[in-house]
Structure 1
Amino acid sequence: MMHPEERLAELGLSVPEVAAPVAAYVPAVRSGNHVFTSGQLPMRGGELMLTGKVGGEVSLEEAVECARQCALNALAAVKAQIDDLAAIRRVVKVVCFVASTPDFTGQPQVANGVSELLGEIFGDAGAHARSAVGVSVLPLDAPVEVELVVEV
């Protein structure tokens, strides 16, 4: 199996710097053989990619891109705890929160941005349990927030 960061490079992606927390928490915590990330927003270069509600100001396609960035940020938080993404034995759980308009029901499609990326990076070890949840608002008016649980 190719190293996860080599696979990311093939996809034209990389693990960013760990996003600074926007409140009183840490980006990730290791407990035994698991790393739990805090919710990661679609920050790129220290700025939110987009703001607003999916189904309103933010399109489904834009939300999927935000979800992918959230996943990369979550992997950055994991890497800060374990030093090497190759130590990930499997992705256990993904939770994807989508700030959406009341009539938007495509939360699973937004979460697929995370799920498909993790599958591309980790193969079978990227298959995971998942929740895709519609919410009225997220921190900083972000359209998407993602958290991961991985086994190391």
Structure 2
Amino acid sequence: MSGAVAARLAELGHTLPDVVPPLAAYQPAVRSGAYVFTSGQLPIVDGKLVATGKVGAEVSAEEAYDLARVCALNALAAVRSVVGDLDRIARVVKVVGFVASAPDFTGQPAVVNGASELFGEVLGDKGQHARSAVGVAVLPLDAPVEVEIQVELLP
């Protein structure tokens, strides 16, 4: 991987992982015209889920913020698997973050900021996006956080 985005990732101390293989019958990302849509990305590193449990119970909001950053890196890896070069990104259009939440936890936006802020740090203005941050009862594999993105590509 080379280019401005790769250089920025390295400058920030991040290594873009290989794309996480699908856990079921779907593709990690698909391209439709000038857009790439990722499937939900879990906080998986080296083939293993980093943490399990509900945010606000077994997982702190601070830990979940960091997990959302892992999800964001996995989402960028999924985009790269389809387009080859992250310098082709015109902008991140939409981020959807799901937070497996304890019943009284209401800090979903702060958790998903982990992903949103990573996109801004890596992509600058191209990383600014619309977003949803949703609390849910449970996520696949009992993951605390899941992030999906929609990206517009340069012509």
Using structure 1 for the length normalisation, give the TM-score.
0.98
* CA distance in 1: counterparts of 2:6 and 2:65, whole angstroms: 21
Alignment of 1:26-45 (within 5 A): 26-45=27-46
Match of 2:128 in 1: 127
Aligned residues: 151
**Structure 2 SS opposite 1:89:** strand
Query: Tell me, what secondary structure is at the counterpart of 1:111?
Result: helix
Residue type matched to 1:57 in 2?
Answer: E
The residue aligned with 1:88 is: 89
User: Percent of counterpart pairs with the same letter?
Assistant: 68
Return the offset for 1:5: 1.1
Question: Could you report, residue by residue, the CA deviation over 1:60-95 in whole angstroms, capped at 9, with x for unpaired residues?
Answer: 111011100000001000001000000000000000
Q: Superposition RMSD on alpha carbons, in Å?
A: 0.8
Aligned residue runs from structure 1 range 1-152, under 5 A: 3-152=4-153
| Offset of residue 45 of structure 1 | 0.7
Measured in 2, the distance between the counterparts of 1:111 and 1:73 equals 14
Q: Distance in 2 between matches of 1:84 and 1:98?
A: 29
What CA distance in whole angstroms lies between the structure 2 residues aligned with 1:58 and 1:4? 31
Q: What is the CA-CA distance between 1:112 and the residue it aligns to?
A: 0.4
**Secondary structure in structure 2 of the residue aligned to 1:147:** strand
Between the aligned partners of 1:127 and 1:111, the Cα distance in structure 2 is 13
Give the TM-score, by structure 2 length: 0.96
Q: Which amino acid in structure 1 is aligned with residue 105 of structure 2?
A: F
* Distance apart, 1:14 and its partner CA: 1.4
Show structure 1 runs of 4+ deviating over 3 A: none
Consecutive unaligned residues of structure 1, counting only runs of 5 or more, are: none
Unmatched runs of 5 consecutive residues or more in structure 2: none
